[in-house]
Structure 1
């Protein structure tokens, strides 16, 4: 068993990744409306700012900034997962261990978290999130992926229109090791 202790910085900015149990599933995209509903219900009850997000067929990457008095990113992830799962009939295989904990079999139990340390770390994770659909081979440019906050950030002027394309990508530090 691991002795990993999660970072609990109130008001922190966190990069989060959570995955479906079946990593070959398309559930998040085939039911994007249900994911959007789960996110909307979560944001109604938990205060945080969404800096960036991408929804892929089997996993989600988010960059969020918590309220100054909050360190509850784990509760936010749990809420999104729970709100999404509740919208489906229980047809998936559920292990005895999950049954004992009243868990569904849709999501992997754990999630990845990383507290953002500085501006460079922030920008690297923003770029990673928005370039992820290209990394996985779903599209050839980040702008082609519709389930991303990149489009809103381009409209706000945070990213140039051609960000992540071969021409513009020179000098952009995108980490591929996650």
Structure 2
């Protein structure tokens, strides 16, 4: 098995992408209440701050800040994914490889993480998260997607309700200026 080198900076802010194994499905949005319950349970036992999040039908993006003495985001994601999976009926197809390890077939095994470097990086990732439902064609207006921290940003006066109405964010994640 490949040994992944991960950054373990305590108290850092991270951008994450987690995908369902079946990218054609809508399990996350259809069962968002189960995902929310899993987040709440894990956050009670292992607090962290969710700076921004969007839940789409088959994947989610989150920007999270760990407590100052903590670097264990992997534990949190493992518990969130496991809690969500346990709450679902066992109807998914499971590969022989997953069966031999006693795994479900809900989530892709790994996820993408990126440590936020500075305020500009933070802002760019918040924009990416909030624009994602429109990018994938789920809505015409960012404000119309219900499972997004965009609504929290609007309520706090950080973004206008019509944000990104005529264009996308200034920079896609991964692009360079």
Q: Report the TM range for the smaller structure's normalisation.
A: over 0.9
CA contact (8 A) 2:125 2:173 kept: no
Q: CA deviation at 1:176?
A: 5.8
Q: CA deviation at 1:158?
A: 1.5
Q: What does residue range 1-178 of structure 1 map to in structure 2 within 5 Å? A: 4-166=4-166, 169=167, 172-175=169-172
Q: CA deviation at 1:2?
A: 5.3
- 78-87 or 1-10, which deviates more: 1-10
Residues in 1 aligned to 2:9 and 2:101: alpha-carbon distance in whole angstroms = 27
CA contact (8 A) 2:48 2:67 kept: yes
Residues in 2 aligned to 1:153 and 1:71: alpha-carbon distance in whole angstroms = 26
Q: CA deviation at 1:95?
A: 2.4
Q: TM-score under structure 1 normalisation? A: 0.92
Q: CA deviation at 1:79?
A: 1.3
Deviations 1:132-166 (A, max 9, x none): 00100111111110110000111111112221111
Gaps of 5+ in 2: none
Q: Secondary structure at the match of 1:81?
A: helix
Q: How many residues were matched structurally?
A: 175
Gaps of 5+ in 1: none
- 41-50 or 125-134, which deviates more: 41-50
Residues in 2 aligned to 1:161 and 1:140: alpha-carbon distance in whole angstroms = 13
- Structure 1 stretches of 4+ with a deviation exceeding 6 A read none
CA, structure 1 residues 176+139, in 2 after alignment: closer, same or farther (shift >3 Å)? farther
Q: Secondary structure at the match of 1:18?
A: strand
CA contact (8 A) 1:48 1:64 kept: yes
